[in-house]
Chains A and B, each alone.
Chain A
Amino acid sequence: AQRVTQPEKLLSVFKGAPVELKCNYSYSGSPELFWYVQYSRQRLQLLLRHISRESIKGFTADLNKGETSFHLKKPFAQEEDSAMYYCALSGSGNTGKLIFGQGTTLQVKP
């Protein structure tokens, strides 16, 4: 079964602390993994794609096929990072179907 699991509903850290948002997936094949972010009163937007292997707003995520994980990391959290983060999976074959995790609320305290 295709599934994305984000074990933490809420992650609360202080400004300047490291952040790791966990994401594990279940998929038989070669999925494409994404992190989407939703800031307060804004629409859902793409943060990272595993294929591009880039750092956006200081966030990085590495696909670990052995552990079937795609954790999102940032070395020093900022208050403006407070938002809802969703890990999502897309199957092979250039499909528009995204399977989302339940989301993790990141709260960065001053």
Chain B
Amino acid sequence: KAGVTQTPRYLIKTRGQQVTLSCSPISGHRSVSWYQQTPGQGLQFLFEYFSETQRNKGNFPGRFSGRQFSNSRSEMNVSTLELGDSALYLCASRRVAGGPNEQFFGPGTRLTVL
């Protein structure tokens, strides 16, 4: 079974621009969660989507948003990029019903903001 995939793997943007990252979950997984990983703050939860609805949200500004499509694929968007948004963005998928509460992580998208 194919794992969680994320595109693109690397991205360079400048301050003020916006960016969209994509995540394709494992087949049959209906929940997608997003995390930001930085050396200073570690792994921080951004939000979770399930059945095209945001279920949980972390403590990030409104510039960070996401959505989920009917095929469970998810995108996250960051508008008006700041230097501090440079990070590895991970997504994780889980089945939700009928299985253990285990999240499977993608390889991440490395975002650099110049």
Residues of chain A within 8 A of B56, CB atoms compared: 95-97
- B106 and A43 within 8 A (CB): yes
CA distance in complex: A52, B31 (Å):
21
Residues of chain B within 8 A of A86, CB atoms compared: 43
- A49 and B100 within 8 A (CB): yes
Other-chain residue from B3, B58, B105, B108 in contact with A97 (beta carbon distance below 8 A): B58
Residues of chain A within 8 A of B48, CB atoms compared: 95-97
CA distance in complex: A90, B44 (Å):
13
Within 77-111 of B, Cβ neighbours of A (below 8 Å) are at 90, 92, 94, 96, 100-108
Given contacts A43-B107, A44-B90, contact A96 B42 (CB under 8 A): no
CA distance in complex: A89, B45 (Å):
11
Residues of chain B within 8 A of A81, CB atoms compared: none
CB A33 to nearest CB in B, in angstroms, measures 11
Other-chain residue from B32, B45, B94, B100 in contact with A99 (beta carbon distance below 8 A): B45
B55 within 8 A of A: yes
Other-chain residue from B42, B92, B105 in contact with A103 (beta carbon distance below 8 A): B42
A45 within 8 A of B: yes
CB B25 to nearest CB in A, in angstroms, measures 11
Within 20-57 of A, Cβ neighbours of B (below 8 Å) are at 32, 43-46, 49, 51-52
Q: Contacts A43-B106, A94-B96, A101-B42 known; list 19 others, CB within 8 Å.
A: A32-B101, A43-B108, A44-B90, A45-B105, A46-B103, A49-B100, A86-B43, A90-B101, A96-B31, A96-B32, A96-B33, A96-B55, A96-B56, A97-B33, A97-B48, A98-B33, A98-B35, A98-B45, A99-B45
Query: Please, could you name 27 A-B residue pairs with CB atoms under 8 Å apart, sorted by A?
Result: A43-B105, A43-B107, A43-B108, A44-B90, A45-B104, A45-B105, A49-B101, A52-B100, A86-B43, A90-B101, A94-B96, A94-B101, A95-B55, A95-B56, A96-B32, A96-B33, A96-B56, A96-B92, A96-B96, A96-B103, A97-B33, A98-B35, A98-B45, A99-B45, A100-B35, A100-B42, A103-B42
